[in-house]
Amino acid sequence: MTEPHPLITAYLDNALSEAEYEELLAWLKAHPDHLRAFVEANVFEQQVRSAVVGEVRRESAGAFVQDEESRRRNPGRDTAGGLMDRFVWPWRSWAMAGAGVLVAGAMIIWWMGQGAGLRPTIASTQGEVQILRDGQRIPANTGEPIRPGERIRTGPNASAELRLADGTSIRMDGSTDVGFLPGKAARQVQVKTGMVRCDVAKQPPGQPLVFQTPHADLTVLGTAFDLLAAPVESRARVHQGRVHWADGGPGVEVAAGEACTADSQGIQAWQPVCNLDFRTLKAVPPQLETVFCNEESLLTARRRIVPAPNGIRLEDGGLRFATLPHAFGEHGLAVTRWTEPVGGDVAIEVELSAAAKVDGDSTPPADPASERNPNWSLQIAVDGDSFDGYRVVFAAPKYPNGIEVDSIHPVEWMLLARDPRPMPEAGDHTLRVEKRRSQLRVWVDRELRIDTALSYPLAPDRKRTFALSEYGAGPLIRSLRVWRGGRD
């Protein structure tokens, strides 16, 4: 496909000066191919114009349907006036048409002002929720309508639920900023930052709802998904239906169970590997193999890795590693690894509770105050297992006092990256490790803690899988979700 002549482009944009117009006419006369190219460009441009106009008109189909019903109810007008009457009516009924246009114009302005039917309202709030209106921050109240052009912001520990006229629910987590655009962009919801969990009602044909983040647009026709907009990337996880995820290029279709991210490197679709809710599972899935390596041989060339099926157990509320000396009689590293290769590009999310573990006993303590275990740690390994891949070590509150990325391949311990800021000691948290090509990102809840490029060489013959491991006091793992990069 050749680029059109700059004069043609300028003509299509109505941007020709008088001199350029003369130049264009001379160029068109210079060769028949020039005129042909000019006509083809114009024909295509006009097709685009009429298709866009048609699309917008179809979006107003409701009005046409009403009009059609009204005509059916009053059939006499057509038969009396006949074809010519319909054809020339603007001239005969000029005054009526003028008035009609005024009324229609007023209705269109009103309709645009109403956010093209989205009509968001605040269904509920918790904590500090504000509306940014006319440059002022005002407290948001339940039931309050949000006008086009306004933004809603939740405070760090606040939340809000917005409802659209069609029943769509948008639940905003804390520190989230959502805006509704005015005018023709009124079917767009801007997620400037933060997390929204959406349950989108079925949208009318040709009128998708578009969620804009700083990195990409998510187009939906009726689905449920979570969408996060963070400074370095935006990501979505689709629970139901399909969405279209694009950053200006053709984009990708993302189906239920899949996830997608967008950042400065572009967009990425993630295929589900597993979605394990350990709170409801009756048995550990067979793809999870648990092994143990004692401390003595761990950092030597002769690692003694032995099967340890009793190294993990399901208990009330999730999955937990067994207490190491109790289970194995010695200290070491317990590893639960996925037996199938998943590739090097992987995203892993672990939901955990840092509840106390009672050695040898899964009964929850009677005293709720003791349900806090400040000394928990968990490792997530990617691009290999905990022995030959990259490990992300989360630990609270002591060593390594925060998060570190390391590897113990081939034998020695190699520190690759570190964030010394302390981990939250108690409560429920979501840990996320995302590796895409050489880039590794580590998140705790919604906070990006490490964003680093890895170049440390791993064994080429390793199984490119993932693993969870721990060497001390493991938290209660509520769920494990894993996606691998790319498509089948």
Partner 1 sequence: MLNEQEQERFMRLWAESQQAVVNYIHATVRDGAAAKDLAQDTALVLFRRFGEYDGDRPFLAWALGVAQHQVRGFHRDAARSRVCFDTELLAQFTELWAETAAAATERSSALEICLERLPARPRLMVRLRYFEELKSEEIARHIGSKSAAVRVALQRIREQLRACVEQQLRMQRRTT
Which positions touch partner 1 (CB under 8 A)? 1, 3-4, 9-15, 18, 21-22, 25, 28-29, 35-36, 38-40, 42-56, 82-84, 87-88, 90, 184-185, 188, 206, 210, 212, 217, 219, 244, 246-251
Q: What minimum distance in Å lies between the beta carbon of 424 and partner 1? A: 36
Q: What minimum distance in Å lies between the beta carbon of 151 and partner 1? A: 16
Which residues, other chains included, contact 234 with Cβ-Cβ below 8 Å and sequence gap of 6+? 191, 213, 214, 215, 216, 227, 228, 261, 262, 263
Question: Which CB, 58 or 398, lies closer to partner 1?
Answer: 58
Question: Which CB, 175 or 207, lies closer to partner 1?
Answer: 207
Answer yes or no: are the C-beta atoms of 212 and 196 closer than 8 Å: no
Cα separation, 284 vs 288, whole angstroms: 7
Which residues, other chains included, contact 134 with Cβ-Cβ below 8 Å and sequence gap of 6+? none
Question: Which CB, 57 or 331, lies closer to partner 1?
Answer: 57
Question: Which CB, 12 or 232, lies closer to partner 1?
Answer: 12
Question: Which CB, 79 or 455, lies closer to partner 1?
Answer: 79
Which residues, other chains included, contact 178 with Cβ-Cβ below 8 Å and sequence gap of 6+? 151, 152, 153, 162, 170, 172, 189, 190, 191, 192, 194, 196
Cα separation, 251 vs 239, whole angstroms: 19
Q: What minimum distance in Å lies between the beta carbon of 167 and partner 1? A: 22
Q: What minimum distance in Å lies between the beta carbon of 468 and partner 1? A: 37
CA dihedral angle for residue 18, residue 20, residue 25, residue 28, rounded to 10 degrees: -160
The token pair at 258 is 């899949």
SS3 content of the chain, % helix, strand, coil (to 5): 25, 40, 35
Q: What minimum distance in Å lies between the beta carbon of 260 and partner 1? A: 14
Cα separation, 182 vs 376, whole angstroms: 49
Question: Which CB, 31 or 331, lies closer to partner 1?
Answer: 31
Question: Which CB, 2 or 455, lies closer to partner 1?
Answer: 2
Q: What minimum distance in Å lies between the beta carbon of 242 and partner 1? A: 13
Q: What minimum distance in Å lies between the beta carbon of 133 and partner 1? A: 20
The token pair at 400 is 């390594």
In three state form, how does the secondary structure of 299-314 look? CCCCCCEEECHHHEEE
